[in-house]
Amino acid sequence: MSTPESEARKALNRLTRALEKSRRELDSLQGAIRHAEGEDFPAAAYAEAEEGIERLLEFGREEGARLQAKILQSGGLEPGRIRRSSS
- pTM of the model as a whole: 0.76
Segment 54-80, tens digit of pLDDT: 999 999 999 999 998 888 877 666 656
* DSSP for 40-68, written as a single string: G--HHHHHHHHHHHHHHHHHHHHHHHHHH
* Chain mean pLDDT for the chain: 88
Please tell me the predicted confidence (pLDDT) of residue 77. 62
71 CB contacts (<8 Å, ≥6 apart)? 5
Ordered by start, the domain boundaries in the chain are 4-70
Considering only CA atoms, which of 15, 13, 22, 21 is closest in space to residue 49?
22
